[in-house]
Amino acid sequence: MATTTVAPPSGAGTSRTGAARLAFLLLLGLAALALALCASVMFGSRSTSLGDVIDVLTGTADPNVTTIVESRYPRTALGVLAGLCLAVAGTLMQGVSRNPLAEPGLLGINAGASASIVAATAWFGASGSTDTMWWALPGALIAGVLVHVIGSAGTGTSVVRLVLAGAVLSAVLMAFIQAVTLSKPQVFDSYRYWVVGALGGRDFDVFWSVFPFAAVGFLLALALGPGLNALALGDAMAVSLGSHPARIRGGGLLAATLLSAAATAAVGPIAFVGLAVPHVVRALAGIDFRVQIVFSALAGPTLLLLADVVGRVVMRPTELMVGVVTAFIGAPALLIAVRRMRGTT
């Protein structure tokens, strides 16, 4: 066993060719992100060309074009932030629970944030994205902890349990949300615009109000990389390597909750980014969590920005919210994954 193990907790686990491959993938990821960024400021109800964008960036563009392109900056920034948060949160959750289905949305965190926001809007006069951010966070945190408590009742944790526990909690919180929103038209109005998950129609204030949470969560995630690698070898091995499984799990859950709460508060619940990106990253870049987290941070924003662009283009002049687009991309991917599942879990 020990003689064939290539990935000690702090070891690279990659040969020289592996490193070259990773560098190539990194360049590819950066290029894809750059492309997605350009697309996000180019396309919309009125499209501009790449030349226009370059002109805007160099300050030589037509004022009208400048206005159009600059109006897309906030949603692009939010797309990057939310995509990064969701993808990294997904990677953390899948690492912590060793559950390939773990994802913020499936684990009740969205429902917790939603319920908290609805309660705050209904009874505590919360309005505007900065307020709701402060409410989404405790809601998400409590829901996340609850799901883990329910999911780890009995012995051990299984692939399906946490997801089911998330479904249960979501159902109960959903009943609460529907009860409140249906009895209060004002709350219903703001909730139905929030719940579709949209990047548009928000300004930089939203970005800056969630930025600190995202930053803390991301730094914590980066710091947890080696610990997650150790955890992947099993609890006993992790302990013998000098790690503390419980601390790593707690830290991972905290970071994932901070990240997904930040994303959910900023742009509404967006499904499947946190589920799909880690799978793709793992398939391409391998199992080292330090690498996975960095690549998720590249791939998440790319996916979310592209989904947003698709949503803007397919239904012109109106647009499809990014949350709807990701559900339509992600759910079929999940269904295909189910078909390939082996055994009973």
Partner 1 sequence: MTTTRESTTSPAPGPEGPAPRSAPRSAPPKGFLTIGRHVAIPVRRVSVVAAAVLLVLVVVAAVATLSMGRLGVDLADLPAALTGDAEGKNRFVLNRLRGPRLTVALGTGAALGLSGALFQSVTRNPLGSPDVIGLAAGAGAGAAISALVFPDTVPVAVGALVGAILAMALVYVSTGTGFRNPARLVVAGIGVAAIGAAITQYVVYAMERDKASVLTAYVNGSLAARSWSDATTIWLVLLVVAPLTALIGRRLDIGEMGDDLAEGLGSEPKRTKTVAVVLAIVLSAASVSVAGPVAFIALTAPQIAKRVTRVSGPHLLLSALTGSLLLVAADLCAQQLPLFEDLPVGIYTMAIGGAYLGYLLVREWRRGVL
SS3 248: helix
Q: Which is nearer to partner 1, 236 or 335 (CB)?
A: 335
Work out how close the CB of 161 gets to partner 1 at its nearest, in angstroms, rounded to a whole number: 6
Distance separating alpha carbons of residues 37 and 73, to the nearest angstrom: 9
Q: Does 328 bind partner 1 (CB under 8 A)?
A: yes
Q: Which is nearer to partner 1, 147 or 230 (CB)?
A: 147
Among 262, 277, 307, 320, indicate the residue that binds partner 1 (CB under 8 A): 320
Question: Which one-letter amino acid corresponds to residue 306?
Answer: L
Q: Does 3 bind partner 1 (CB under 8 A)?
A: no
SS3 203: coil
- Say if residues 284 and 26 touch (Cβ distance below 8 Å): no
H or E stretch including 265?
Answer: helix 245-267
Q: Does 12 bind partner 1 (CB under 8 A)?
A: no
Residues 141-180 within binding reach of partner 1 (CB under 8 A): 150, 153-155, 158-161, 163-165, 167-169, 171-172, 174-176, 178-179
Site track 250-289 with partner 1 (rule: CB under 8 A), x = hit = ---------------------xx-----------------
Which residue stretch of 28-36, 56-64, 187-195, 279-287 sits at the interface with partner 1 (rule: CB under 8 A)? 187-195
Among 10, 45, 183, 240, indicate the residue that binds partner 1 (CB under 8 A): 183
The DSSP output letter for 102 is: -
Work out how close the CB of 219 gets to partner 1 at its nearest, in angstroms, rounded to a whole number: 31
Question: Which one-letter amino acid corresponds to residue 261?
Answer: A
Q: Which is nearer to partner 1, 11 or 332 (CB)?
A: 332
Distance separating alpha carbons of residues 340 and 338, to the nearest angstrom: 5
Distance separating alpha carbons of residues 36 and 42, to the nearest angstrom: 10
**Neighbour tally for 25: CB within 10 Å:** 17
Among 144, 251, 300, 323, indicate the residue that binds partner 1 (CB under 8 A): 323
Site track 193-212 with partner 1 (rule: CB under 8 A), x = hit = x-xx----------------
Distance separating alpha carbons of residues 75 and 81, to the nearest angstrom: 10
Q: Where are the alpha helices (DSSP H) in 72-195?
A: 73-97, 109-123, 128-151, 159-183, 185-195
- Say if residues 110 and 172 touch (Cβ distance below 8 Å): no
The DSSP output letter for 107 is: T
Residues near partner 1 (CB under 8 A) are 101, 106, 150, 153-155, 158-161, 163-165, 167-169, 171-172, 174-176, 178-179, 181-183, 185, 188-189, 192-193, 195-196, 271-272, 318, 320-321, 323-324, 327-328, 330-332, 334-336, 338-339, 341, 344-345
